[in-house]
Amino acid sequence: MKCMYCHAAMMRHPAPFQITRQHYHVTLERVPAWVCSQCGEVYFETPEVEAIQNLIELLEVQSRRLRKAA
């Protein structure tokens, strides 16, 4: 696998994932990923992306419930 920006080799390596929304912030410390050996670009594969999307959907639904209750 090669980096789409600098075309250097990508290595399997855990990487942090962060998102910031208006009502919550999520930091995952070590998500399995591909990291570029040259520029540090990070790619997540489909299973990891899907897991993160599911997590955010759940957070979105539950945080909406919390805001409604307030």
Nearer to Zn ion, 17 or 34 (CB): 34
Cα–Cα distance measured from residue 24 to residue 7, given in angstroms and rounded to the nearest whole number: 35
The pairs formed by 30-35 with CB atoms below 8 angstroms and a separation of 24 or more are 34/1, 34/10, 35/10, 35/11
Nearer to Zn ion, 39 or 58 (CB): 39
**Residue from 1, 6, 11, 49 binding Zn ion (CB under 5 A):** 6
Minimum distance from residue 6 beta carbon to Zn ion (Å):
3
Footprint on residues 9-68 left by Zn ion (CB under 5 A): 36, 38-39, 41
The count of other CB atoms within 10 Å of the CB of residue 57 is 10
Binding stretches for Zn ion (CB under 5 A): 3, 5-6, 8, 36, 38-39, 41
